[in-house]
Structure formats: structure tokens, C-alpha cells
Amino acid sequence: MTLEQLKTQVQQTRRDILRMVHAVNSGHPGGSLGCAEFFTALYGTQMKFSTDFSMDGNGEDLFFLSNGHISPVFYSTLARFGFFPVEELSTFRKIDSRLQGHPTTHEGLPGIRMASGSLGQGLSVAIGAALSKKLNNDDKLVYSLHGDGELQEGQIWEALMYAAAKKVDNIISTIDYNGQQIDGSTENVLDLGDLHAKLEAFGWLVLEEKEGNDLEKVIAILEKAKSATGKGKPVVIILHTEMGNGVDYMMGTHAWHGKAPNDEQLEKALTQNPETELKDY
Ligand SMILES: [Mg+2]
């Protein structure tokens, strides 16, 4: 894909997110919007994957979404990259849909490798998958994404410690560092302190990108992370993003973490993100 095509995809994904949560008046637009560039860059430029989905994923790069509540951006990305029909996005959060509010494996939606929603668990799962790749002599990588608020879960730190001690160097974990969580800023709820220093102290190779909503910079940091794998240390990216990115009234606050826009607000948000040649679902 060209950079222009990727940028088009980011914009269409923003529209998908907004329309999905509005349609059912529930869901999590804020974190989803903040990660649109990350998902598009990851699936569009980094990962080797097959849309003929298998849970084993042998010979493929794997992705685990640990902060499962940002499912709208994940579902839009999977649909737009061909894992399932784009029209299915209209079933988001509806009864009997495969697109539940938080991703689940037993719904059989291609691309979903782990149920997530209960925070803190995804890193452990991703590390297990990375270890299995080593045992299978599979040289592909494992990616995971985590919220910054999610780092307040103790299991994350056990997993961080384990991966470094066991030299799991085929994993690239990204922290969606937007400084916000459901109840307010991470600083006010439970300050993460010097996260960079903490992750380094836990034995990870730490990369940081201050402009996580600049598509080219996101691609560049993912490239850098890939080149840092295989060197004896797990790799983590602290990706600074803006919750609600691309919609002016959703930015700079935690208010849109888990709240859908009403009709008028949707109209305003969509005007700021016009439909692309990829077309609405
Ligand atoms: Mg956050």
C-alpha cells in the first residue's frame, strides 16, 4: 500500500469507529480513534498475515489486543484488510453478532486470537505465543497492544519480568500512551511515574514515539522495533497518542473513553472525517 492509501484507510477507520458506536449508543470511541494510525500501520506495513485465518498462525506474525475495549478500531482494521466482510461492521454490539463489545474467540471472528476486556492479561498471552514460535522454529513476530491505564494491573509487571528473564526477543509490545483512562488522567488515577525507566529496569528494550498519530512516524517506529528484535531482549514501544484523535471535541479529555456520540455529535465528527473512496460500510 502507498502512504496515501494508508492515510485514506486511517480516515475511513475513524468513520467506521464513530458510526459503529453511534449506531448502538455504546462502545469506546476515544481510545479507538487514538490508535487508528497504529492499527493501519501495523496491518498495512508490518505484519505478515493470512486472511485465511487459523488460530495456530504458524509462519505468520500475530497480534493480540490486550485493551479489548477498543474493539471498534480492531474490527474496522480486520474488515478493511479482508478478514471478514466490511458490511458486518453494522452488527457491532448487537445480539448474536460476532462483533461483541469486547472481542471473544468463541464467536469465531477471523483475526481474533484472544478474548480481551479484562485488562492486564494480553501480555502474558502474547509472551506465551512468542515462546511457542521459538519452540516451533517460527521466525515470525508477535505484537501486542496495551492501554496505559492497563499498566496499573499487576499481571502486566509479572509478564514484563518473565519476558526479559527468558529472553523473549520476538515480541513487540506497544503501550497506547494517551495519558487517559476511564475515570480521568492516568496521572490522577494512579500515576505511572517514569514509565520509560521502569520498562528499562524490567529488562526490555524501550522505544518511544512522541507523535503516535503521525502515520509516517508510527511506521518508522514499528520498523525500528522490528530491527531491534532477535537481540536477546523483548521490545516495547511507548506510543504517545491522543484519545479521540481526529474529532476536535473528543480530544484532550477522557470523557469519550466509553461514550457514544449522539446524532448531532456524530454529524459534526463525520464532517471532520469525510467519507473516502473506500466507502462507508
Ligand atoms: Mg489510556
pLDDT at residue number 106:
87
Please give the distance, rounded to the nearest whole angstrom, from the Cα atom of residue 279 to the centre of ligand 1: 29
pLDDT at residue number 5:
98
Give the DSSP H/E element, type plus range, for residue 37: helix 36-41
Residue with cell 448531532: 264
For the chain, list the domains and their CATH numbers. 3-271 (3.40.50.970)
Identify which of 246, 268, 239 has the alpha carbon closest to the alpha carbon of residue 30.
246
Percent of the chain clearing pLDDT 90 (strictly above): 99
Please give the distance, rounded to the nearest whole angstrom, from the Cα atom of residue 164 to the centre of ligand 1: 24
Residue ranges of the alpha helices (H) in 166-249? 186-190, 195-201, 215-227
Residue 34 predicted with pLDDT over 90: yes
Q: Give the mean pLDDT of 70-87.
A: 98
pLDDT tens digits for range 141-200:
999 999 999 999 999 999 999 999 999 999 999 999 999 999 999 999 999 999 999 999
pTM attached to this predicted model: 0.98
Q: What one-character-per-residue DSSP string does 100-131 give?
A: -SS--TTTT-TT--S---STT-HHHHHHHHHH
Please give the distance, rounded to the nearest whole angstrom, from the Cα atom of residue 39 to the centre of ligand 1: 16
Amino acid at 250: M
Please give the distance, rounded to the nearest whole angstrom, from the Cα atom of residue 116 to the centre of ligand 1: 16
Kindly give, in sequence order, each residue whose CB lies less than 8 Å from that of residue 267, ignoring residues fewer than 6 positions away. Answer: none
Please give the distance, rounded to the nearest whole angstrom, from the Cα atom of residue 243 to the centre of ligand 1: 7
pLDDT tens digits for range 216-243:
999 999 999 999 999 999 999 999 999 9
Please give the distance, rounded to the nearest whole angstrom, from the Cα atom of residue 17 to the centre of ligand 1: 17
Query: Is the separation of the CB atoms in 28 and 43 below 8 Å?
Result: no
pLDDT at residue number 96:
93
Please give the distance, rounded to the nearest whole angstrom, from the Cα atom of residue 125 to the centre of ligand 1: 20
Please give the distance, rounded to the nearest whole angstrom, from the Cα atom of residue 52 to the centre of ligand 1: 32
- Residue 212 phi/psi, 5° resolution? -75, 0
Residue with cell 484523535: 245
Please give the distance, rounded to the nearest whole angstrom, from the Cα atom of residue 42 to the centre of ligand 1: 19
pLDDT tens digits for range 114-142:
999 899 999 999 999 999 999 999 999 99
Q: How far apart are CA 183 and CA 257, in angstroms?
A: 9
Amino acid at 231: K
Please give the distance, rounded to the nearest whole angstrom, from the Cα atom of residue 94 to the centre of ligand 1: 26
